[in-house]
Amino acid sequence: MAGQIDAKLKALGIELPSPMQPIANYVPYVVAGDLVFISGQLPAIDGKVAWTGKVGAAISIEDAAKACRQSFINLLVHLKAATGDLDRVVQVVRLGGFIAAGADFTQHAAAMNGASNLAVEVFGDRGRHARTTIGVPSLPLDAAVEVEGVFRIA
């Protein structure tokens, strides 16, 4: 039934924002056959990065998880633009998370769960995915996190 994912988002209190434009020489997504590759999304709200700084220092684990959740919402914006209908998503194939943190930080996975948990909330079993989460010394615009994704569509 068309509109199931939009209804799920509404039930979760999520309204998809306008997409943030790429900040460099790349496109926000590429459709290749039945796969959609979404470029890394920052935790932006209204076109501005909402969580900046290092996770574990200026940013708590809880806020980092919120930032990853927002980054996943921003992935959905581009996924909807690429597909026209989020109900076309057959599987969240893979999410990649980048967590800006110091060398002694080790709780990257807890932060990235903000994105992974929302993927499962939105898509159910179709939201279960492979994942890579890594720590990095910095991200564009001093963002605390960045999330990219690959989705299979019908």
The mean pLDDT of 96-120, rounded to a whole number, is 97
Q: How many Å apart are CA 12 and CA 122, to the nearest integer?
A: 8
Q: How many Å apart are CA 20 and CA 18, to the nearest integer?
A: 7
Q: How many Å apart are CA 58 and CA 63, to the nearest integer?
A: 10
Residue 44's CB is within 10 A of a number of other CB atoms, namely 22
Average pLDDT taken over every residue of the chain? 96
Delimit the domains of the chain by residue range: 4-153
With respect to CATH, is domain 4-153 assigned 3.30.1330.40? yes
pLDDT of 119 reads 98
Give 122-149 pLDDT, tens digit per residue.
999 999 999 999 999 999 999 999 999 9
Query: pLDDT at residue 1 above 60?
Result: no
| DSSP element (H, E) containing 78 | helix 61-83
